[in-house]
A and B are shown apart, each in its own frame.
Chain A
Amino acid sequence: MDQGFPLFPQQASSMAPRVDNLYFYLLAVSFFFATLIALSVIYFAIRYRRRSESETPPGVEGSLKLEVAWTVIPLLITLTFFFWGTKLFFAMNRPPTDALEISIVGKQWMWKIQHADGQREINELHVPVGRAVRLTMTSEDVIHDFFVPAFRMKKDVVPGRYATAWFEATRPGRYHVFCAQYCGTKHSAMTGWVEVMDPLAFQNWLAGGTGSESLASAGAKLFALHACNTCHRPDSLARGPNLEGLFGKTVKLQDGRTLVADENYIRESIVAPNAKLVAGFQPIMPTFQGLISEEGLLQLVAYIKSLSKAGPSPAGIPPPVKESAPEREAPK
Chain B
Amino acid sequence: MAQHVVPPKIYFAVFTALIVLTATTTAISFLDLGPWNTVVALGIAFLKATLVALFFMHVKYSPPLTRIVIAGGLFWLAILLALTLSDFLTRGWLAVS
Contact = CB atoms under 8 A, between A and B. Distances in A.
User: In the complex they form, do A and B come into direct contact, defined as C-beta atoms under 8 angstroms apart?
Assistant: yes
Interface of A: 93-95, 161, 163-164, 259-260, 262, 264
Given A94-B94, A262-B96, 7 more contacts: A93-B94, A93-B97, A95-B96, A163-B97, A164-B96, A164-B97, A260-B95
B33 to A, nearest CB: 14
Interface in B55-97: 92, 94-97
A164 B97 CA distance: 6
A262 B92 CA distance: 10
B92 A260 contact: yes
Interface residues of B, number: 5
Interface of B: 92, 94-97
Contacts of A164: 96-97
17 contacts: A93-B94, A93-B96, A93-B97, A94-B94, A94-B95, A94-B96, A95-B96, A161-B97, A163-B97, A164-B96, A164-B97, A259-B92, A260-B92, A260-B95, A262-B95, A262-B96, A264-B97
B91 to A, nearest CB: 9
Contacts of B95: 94, 260, 262
A93 B94 CA distance: 8
B21 to A, nearest CB: 29
Which are the 5 A-B pairs with shortest beta-carbon distances?
A: A164-B96, A259-B92, A93-B94, A262-B96, A164-B97
Contacts of B94: 93-94
A163 B96 CA distance: 8
B89 to A, nearest CB: 11
A238 B97 CA distance: 31
Contacts of B96: 93-95, 164, 262
A262 B94 CA distance: 11
A153 B24 CA distance: 56
B30 to A, nearest CB: 20
A163 B91 CA distance: 12
Nearest to A136: B96
Nearest to B92: A259
Contacts of B92: 259-260
Contacts of A94: 94-96
A163 B95 CA distance: 12
A132 B71 CA distance: 52
A79 to B, nearest CB: 20
A242 B91 CA distance: 26
Interface centre among B94, B95, B96, B97 (most CB of A within 10 A): B96
Contacts of A262: 95-96
Nearest to A166: B96
Nearest to A134: B96
A264 B94 CA distance: 13
A161 B92 CA distance: 12
Contacts of A163: 97
A161 B96 CA distance: 12
B61 to A, nearest CB: 40
Contacts of A259: 92
Nearest to B94: A93
A95 B92 CA distance: 16
A163 B94 CA distance: 13
A130 to B, nearest CB: 22
Contacts of A93: 94, 96-97
A264 B97 CA distance: 9
A164 B95 CA distance: 11
A16 B95 CA distance: 23
A144 to B, nearest CB: 16
B3 to A, nearest CB: 41
A160 to B, nearest CB: 13
